[in-house]
Amino acid sequence: MSLLEIKNLHVTVAGQEILKGIDLAINSGEVHSIMGPNGSGKSTLAQVLARRETYQVTRGEVLFDGKDLLAMKPEEAACEGIFMAFQYPVEIPGISNTYFLRSALNAIRKYRGQDEMDAMDFLPMFREKLKLLDMEEKLMNRSVNEGFSGGEKKRNEILQMAVLEPKLAILDETDSGLDIDALRIVAKGVTAMRSPERGMLVVTHYQRLLNYIVPDFVHVLVDGRIVRSGGPELALELEEKGYGWIENEARQSAPASV
């Protein structure tokens, strides 16, 4: 059984169909990358998997760990083990990063019937994770993402991922707005989290992130459909030729538009 199984997924936003029949299976231990031009539906896919309710699923099904993901609320999906690193992390004034993360971790632990973690147990583990992402502890006493640079915000997302240890990690354009140094640190954190117990879905427009996080599979999303799947070499091909050729190809082979 796959960790994540997407079958014929159709999604509309405000009456417009964005995803037009996605099929994708991710096994534990695998890193998949979804690439595609702007507006192809990459982020929509990520958000639907994280159960954002502004998207309407009109057809298809998604199984996560054998359970019906589409019947879950966002917090249930999170507690079941889905984590999404946001493209635009939000700010929560007045709530410290440490407090926020411990609350999140304990909400998930509670859902799973585990004991809540107290500050004494939490801190040493947290410090380990901070090291992994080259983050200073004092940053953690500041409010969630408030006054963080773009790079700090993205690193903070990966830090959260490291603390919450999801079964499926979704990275929604984590590379956008990162300079090369920040990109390296983020990639290092993500790579350290690769594990046989974890699946990853890396959504990106550019190939450069995939130099650091080398995926097992690359899927190209064009106009709401996966038009090509392959290994990491497919990403390099796209980098070289751009999306134009694959878009043309897709257009020619696509079934008559609805």
Partner 1 sequence: MSTNINTIRDLAERDYKWGFVTEVEEERVPRGLNEDIIRLISAKKNEPEFMLEWRMKAYRYWASLAQSQAEPKWANIKYGPIDYQDIVYYSAPKQKAKLNSLDELDPEILRTYEKLGIPLAEQKMLAGVAVDAVFDSVSVATTFKEKLAERGVIFCSFSEAVEKHPELVKKYLGSVVPYTDNFFAALNAAVFSDGSFVYVPKGVRCPLELSTYFRINAAETGQFERTLIVADEGAYVSYLEGCTAPIRDENQLHAAVVELVALDHAQIKYSTVQNWYPGDKEGRGGIYNFVTKRGKCAGLNSKISWTQVETGSAITWKYPSCILQGDNSVGEFYSVALTNNYQQADTGTKMIHLGKNTSSTIVSKGISAGHGQNTYRGQVKILKGAAGARNYTQCDSLLIGEKCGAHTFPYIEVKNSSARMEHEASTSKIGEDQLFYLQQRGLKTEDAVSMIVNGFCKQVFRELPMEFAVEAQKLLSVSLEGSVG
Q: State the residues that interact with partner 1 by CB under 8 A.
A: 50-54, 73-75, 77-79, 83-84, 86, 88-90, 92-95, 100, 103-105, 107-108, 111, 143, 160, 164
Q: In the complex, what is the shortest distance from the CB of residue 122 to partner 1, in angstroms, rounded to a whole number? A: 15
Structure tokens at 25: 């299976």
Q: How many CB atoms lie within 10 A of CB 89?
A: 17
Q: Among candidates 129, 130, 126, 177, which has minimal Cα distance to 154?
A: 177
3-state SS string for 16-73:
EEEEEEEEEEECCCCEEEEECCCCCCHHHHHHHHCCCCCCEEEEEEEEECCEEHHHCC
Q: In the complex, what is the shortest distance from the CB of residue 108 to partner 1, in angstroms, rounded to a whole number? A: 4
Q: In the complex, what is the shortest distance from the CB of residue 174 to partner 1, in angstroms, rounded to a whole number? A: 14
Handedness of CA 46, 221, 200, 69 (dihedral sign): positive
Asked if residues 61 and 7 have their Cβ atoms less than 8 Å apart, the reply is: yes
d(C-alpha 34, C-alpha 249), whole Å: 18
Q: In the complex, what is the shortest distance from the CB of residue 11 to partner 1, in angstroms, rounded to a whole number? A: 16
Q: In the complex, what is the shortest distance from the CB of residue 92 to partner 1, in angstroms, rounded to a whole number? A: 5
Buried b / exposed e over 225-240, threshold 16 CB at 10 Å, is bbbbeeebebbeebee
Q: In the complex, what is the shortest distance from the CB of residue 59 to partner 1, in angstroms, rounded to a whole number? A: 19
